[in-house]
Amino acid sequence: MALKPKEAAVVREYSINGNSKNIREILLNNTSRKVYLHIKSEGVCKSRDVAKRLKLSLPNSSKIMKKLYHDGYLNRDAAIHPSGGYEHIYYVGSKL
């Protein structure tokens, strides 16, 4: 069975480090990696916080964070905004 390039990178890196969190960070593009590491260091973030800190547009940070969530890198909860809508709060691992 042939491995796809992404899977081959995971297997190769896993055999060196044995740390799945580091493996996942390697598979991200540069901007996504910055967003992921920022959220990881801050604990809990909203899209506008990430956009402001990393100098990204709000739609771009929202799109990246949504993709990271759907790819399994982040977890998220929905919070009700004072305007009546909701906004997502993203975090790595479990919230404290």
15-30 confidence digits (pLDDT tens): 444 555 555 555 678 8
Percent of the chain with pLDDT over 70: 69
**DSSP characters over 27-94:** TS-HHHHHHHHHHHHHSEEEHHHHHHHHT--HHHHHHHHHHHHHTTS-EEEEEE-TTSSEEEEEESS-
pTM: 0.69
Domains of the chain by residue range? 5-91
Q: Which CATH architecture has domain 5-91?
A: Orthogonal Bundle (1.10)
